Amino acid sequence: MNESNEKIRETVRKGYTEIAKGKSCGCCGSPSPVKVASGIGYSNDDLDTLPEGANMGLSCGNPTAIANLKVGQVVLDLGSGGGFDVFIAAKKVGSNGKVIGVDMTPEMIGKARASIPRFTENTGFSNVEFRLGEIEHLPVADASVDVVISNCVINLSPDKQQVWQEIARVLKQGGRACISDLAMKKPLPDKVLKSAAAIVSCVAGAVPIDQTINMAKQAGLSGIQIDEKAYNIDVMADCNDTLYREVKQCLPQGTKLGDYIVSVDITAFRK
């Protein structure tokens, strides 16, 4: 990995360590994490049995919904954070299924693992696991996963093509990737791209939709579908989090984040 990529990775790790410690909180100001999650399609049933603290307001979509998960499936969540989508997916796949969360931030892994007993108490399921690792080098066996999900994380990677290669590697034949992420509508101003807050808040790493499609194809995935979300990115930007406030201060006068970035759902299949 080159020096620039490593700097990006360390900026992201540091930022999400702060979030895990409660010193920053994604979009945890106003609207609340519950309001944000409800606004992007999570149901009350999804949210009611979550362990306290799992919903950290870091979502830009609902990959567990587009995945249409089935009982007994093995699911992998890239950049699982506090375990939000892992715990939701675990309810859907049931006791015969399994959900693995991978995150590169030790503090996030610790936070998620600490929530497992409460999740088991709430649901009766013991079907989740959290592994420390990088999404460019997944600690997961070849062809072992039915569904890969990820929520506003791939944009954080400085090597997105490698992430898509890893997704294809771990998926079983016929398996699918169901990703919620941010995409670029038009180039961001240089001042935003250089902002550490923009990197950590998932903004600076967004790429055009066509580039994402090409990366998935190069990884060997097919049946690629992109759905631009009606959910407005400006709802996230209008929360009280310091990261988004800093990003907005870097935008040209009279513009808003939604002029540059859109939330998308991506579905792709392994042949």
Q: What's the pLDDT at 45?
A: 84
How far is CA 46 from each of CA 62, 157, 166, rounded to the nearest angstrom?
11, 28, 28
Q: Which pairing describes strands 207-208 and 261-270: parallel, antiparallel, or unpaired?
A: unpaired
How far is 14 from 93, CA to CA, in rounded Å? 33
Q: What's the pLDDT at 55?
A: 79
- pLDDT above 90 covers a percentage of the chain that reads 51
**Residues in contact with 111: Cβ distance below 8 Å, sequence separation at least 6, in sequence order:** 20, 53, 82, 83
CA-based nearest residue to 165, from 45, 14, 270, 15: 270
Domains of the chain plus CATH, in order, are 3-262 (3.40.50.150)
At residue 44, the 3 state secondary structure works out as helix
Which tokens go with 160?
């997105």
At residue 167, the 3 state secondary structure works out as helix
- The phi, psi pair for 40, rounded to 5°, reads -110, 15
Out of 2-6, 99-103, 195-199, 255-259, the most confident range is 99-103
> 23-76: per-residue pLDDT in tens?
555 443 334 666 667 666 688 888 888 888 787 766 778 899 899 999 999 999
Name the pLDDT band for 108 (thresholds 50, 70, 90).
Answer: very high
- Pick the residue with more confidence: 182 or 233? 182
Q: What is the mean pLDDT of residues 196-214?
A: 74
Q: What is the mean pLDDT of residues 121-133?
A: 97
Looking up tokens 């569904």 gives 147
- Residue 160: is its pLDDT beyond 50? yes
> 206-236: per-residue pLDDT in tens?
889 999 999 999 999 999 999 987 555 655 5
- pLDDT above 70 covers a percentage of the chain that reads 79
